[in-house]
């Protein structure tokens, strides 16, 4: 009898693997491997160059890049907080009013196609330049930033090591190069592997024993994610994002008006001299990403759309959504479970529908989402 009890206890504690269908397995495997191997972005000739990465790292923590001398890139993109700030919406400078948008993490930013919640920039270096010059962020000017480099012997030497030549006479070119060094550093910020990646890889190689060590609640949540929840339609691929924009029913009203989201971002992108169609793009004229920028079209449906974020390291990047309006992963799950379809664009994609999850299903989906963090 004792032996039977012991065997029953062992059986009860044994790892369990859901009977995923071939289609489910294919969808799961499509979310890896991690980390992906991506070639450097041709728009930035120094991406991947150690000297540029080293200078970019120093610039990232340098408060002299701000007009006040009190802010650095790391002030809002805090390394210990997965390179974001943990605030509902960004605050820049002592006593500054809250901004309109949540500060996104910089992890895995080299995987992005568009940058910012509205995609106003089409390269990581342009996205790095924008906050330096924005009045409500770092508040600098190109001449002031250029003077800061020209007046520092060490910065002059680091520039020469990174770019292989003397400082350019043109202030704008020098500031763009600073942004490219910052981007070279940020391109190295890759999120770590997670319990999901271990499970995914085991499933891909047919190691069912290893796959069974993945928590059963996370497995059930994953089945919802790739199945009837259709979450993987937008949160696709190894980084769990299709890199595009969507209206998900989160209000875009802000103090004094509305946040136009992608609609406004496209207007800024097309008007910018710093986009991939401009003179500062280091890629050839055949750069496929430049072709994409050339052919973007602004449509009414883009109003109120925001970039689909990646889901890696979610437990470290709360609060969530473009306006930081949802405090926890459970809040995010509940948003999609009880989605108000009347808030969605009538002429946009109709991918979303209320999931109407039972409490245990909501818990399972949250368990899966948590497994995307180390």
Same domain, 167 and 230: no
Question: pLDDT value at position 12?
Answer: 45
The verdict on residue 170 lying in a domain is: yes
The verdict on residue 349 lying in a domain is: yes
Q: What are phi and psi of 253, to 5 degrees?
A: -75, 135
HEC profile of 298-360:
CCHHHCCEEECCCCCCHHHCCCECCCCCECCHHHHHHHHHCCCHHHCCCCCCCCCCCCCCCHH
> Is residue 62 left, alpha or beta, with left meaning phi > 0 and alpha meaning psi from -120 to 50?
beta
Provide CB contacts within 8 A for 77, sequence distance 6+: 60, 83, 84, 85, 103, 105, 106
Question: pLDDT value at position 55?
Answer: 98
Q: How far apart are CA 66 and CA 145, in angstroms?
A: 9
Domain final position from 166, 186, 206: 186
> Per residue in 297-322, pLDDT tens?
999 989 999 999 999 999 999 999 99
> Per residue in 142-197, pLDDT tens?
999 999 999 999 999 999 999 999 999 999 999 999 999 999 999 999 999 999 99
Same domain, 90 and 137: yes
The verdict on residue 276 lying in a domain is: no
Residue 141 three-state SS: coil
> Which CATH number characterizes residue 312's domain?
1.10.760.10
Percent over 90 (pLDDT), the chain: 84
Same domain, 360 and 225: yes
Identify the domain containing residue 164 by its residue range: 50-186
> Per residue in 348-365, pLDDT tens?
457 889 999 999 999 999
Domain final position from 155, 186, 217: 186
Same domain, 309 and 331: yes
Same domain, 220 and 364: yes
> Per residue in 224-278, pLDDT tens?
999 999 999 999 999 999 999 999 999 888 877 899 999 999 999 999 999 999 9
The verdict on residue 116 lying in a domain is: yes
Burial (CB < 10 A; 0-12, 13-18, 19+), residue 364, is buried
Q: What is the DSSP string of 33-91?
A: -SS---PPPTTSTTTT-HHHHHHHHHHHT-GGGSSSSS--HHHHSBGGGTTB--SSS--
| Local structure of residue 121 (DSSP, 8 states) | B
Tally the domains of the chain.
2
Question: pLDDT value at position 5?
Answer: 39
Same domain, 24 and 72: no
CA atoms within a 13 Å half-sphere pointing along the CA-CB vector of 205: 10
**Is residue 38 within 8 Å of residue 289, measured between CB atoms?**
no
Same domain, 205 and 316: yes
Same domain, 74 and 200: no
Same domain, 245 and 357: yes
Domain final position from 167, 186, 205: 186
Question: pLDDT value at position 104?
Answer: 96
Same domain, 137 and 65: yes
Q: Give the end-to-end CA distance of the chain in Å, rounded to a whole number.
A: 42
Provide CB contacts within 8 A for 16, sequence distance 6+: 212, 216, 219
The average pLDDT across 88-102 equals: 76
The helix (run of H) or strand (run of E) holding residue 210 is helix 208-211
The verdict on residue 210 lying in a domain is: yes
The verdict on residue 260 lying in a domain is: no
The verdict on residue 40 lying in a domain is: no
Torsion over CA of 80, 85, 86 and 92, rounded to 10 degrees?
160
Q: How far apart are CA 184 and CA 45, in angstroms?
A: 9
- Is pLDDT larger for residue 347 or for residue 110? 110
The verdict on residue 274 lying in a domain is: no
Same domain, 111 and 150: yes
């Amino acid at each position: 009898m004792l032996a039977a009890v012991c065997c029953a206890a062992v059986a009860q504690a044994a790892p369990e693997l859901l009977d995923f269908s071939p289609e489910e397995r294919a969808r799961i495997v499509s979310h890896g491997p991690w980390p992906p191997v991506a070639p450097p972005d041709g728009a930035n000739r120094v991406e991947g160059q150690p000297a540029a990465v080293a200078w970019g790292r120093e610039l990232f923590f340098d408060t002299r890049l701000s007009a006040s001398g009190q802010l650095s890139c790391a002030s809002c993109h805090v390394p210990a907080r997965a390179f974001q700030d943990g605030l509902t919406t960004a605050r820049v400078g002592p006593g500054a009013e809250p901004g309109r948008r949540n500060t996104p993490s910089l992890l895995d930013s080299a995987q992005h196609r568009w940058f910012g919640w509205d995609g106003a920039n089409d390269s990581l270096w342009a996205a790095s330049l924008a906050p330096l010059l924005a009045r409500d962020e770092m508040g600098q000017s190109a001449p002031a930033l250029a003077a800061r480099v020209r007046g520092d012997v060490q910065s002059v030497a680091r520039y020469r090591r990174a770019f292989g030549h003397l400082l350019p006479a043109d202030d704008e070119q020098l500031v763009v190069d600073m942004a490219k060094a910052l981007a070279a550093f940020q391109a190295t910020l890759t999120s770590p592997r997670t319990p999901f990646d271990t499970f995914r890889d085991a499933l891909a190689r047919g190691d069912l024993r290893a796959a069974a060590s993945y928590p059963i609640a996370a497995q059930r949540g994953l089945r919802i994610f790739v199945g009837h929840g259709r979450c993987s339609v937008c949160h696709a691929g190894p980084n769990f994002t299709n890199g595009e924009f969507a209206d998900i029913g989160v209000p875009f009203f802000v103090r004094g008006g509305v946040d136009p989201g992608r609609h406004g971002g496209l207007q800024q992108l097309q008007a910018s001299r710093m986009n991939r169609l401009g003179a500062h793009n280091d890629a050839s004229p055949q750069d496929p990403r430049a072709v994409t920028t050339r052919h973007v079209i602004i449509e009414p449906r883009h109003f109120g759309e925001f970039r689909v974020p990646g889901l890696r390291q979610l437990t470290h990047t709360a609060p969530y959504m473009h306006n930081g309006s949802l405090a926890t992963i459970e809040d995010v799950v509940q948003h999609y479970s009880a989605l108000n379809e009347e808030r969605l664009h009538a002429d946009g994609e109709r991918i979303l529908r209320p999931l109407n999850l039972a409490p245990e299903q909501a818990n399972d989906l949250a368990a899966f989402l948590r497994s995307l963090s180390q």
